[in-house]
Amino acid sequence: MPSASIDFDLRGEFIELNQLLKLAGLCNSGGEGKMLVAQGLVKVDGAVELRKTYKVRAGQLVSYRNTVIKVLADQQDVRA
């Protein structure tokens, strides 16, 4: 089964892991995202992450099942 990839433009310094899962469309709510994390089904940079409100920052990879979310710095936030 091929992996899917989602590019997520981060606005601000970080996003909580459970909210990222919701906004990326991998679950229906932040509460459902918390359950997925608590069950050990979500990885950040290849390691299982059990902290539901872990602060995900630009440059990190979040994976759930066959989907990888690439967290990118929002180009509007980048200062020259």
What gap in Å lies between CA 14 and CA 45, rounded to an integer? 15
- Give the tens place of pLDDT for each residue, 41-69: 999 999 999 999 999 999 999 999 999 99
| 79 has pLDDT over 60 | no
Which pTM does this prediction carry?
A: 0.88
CA atoms of 4 and 67, how far apart (whole Å): 5
Tokens in use for 25? 């469309």
pLDDT band at 3 (very low <50, low <70, confident <90, very high): confident
- Are 20 and 41 in contact by the 8 Å Cβ rule? The answer is no
Whether the CB-CB separation of 37 and 52 falls below 8 Å is answered with yes
Domains of the chain: 4-73 (3.10.290.10)
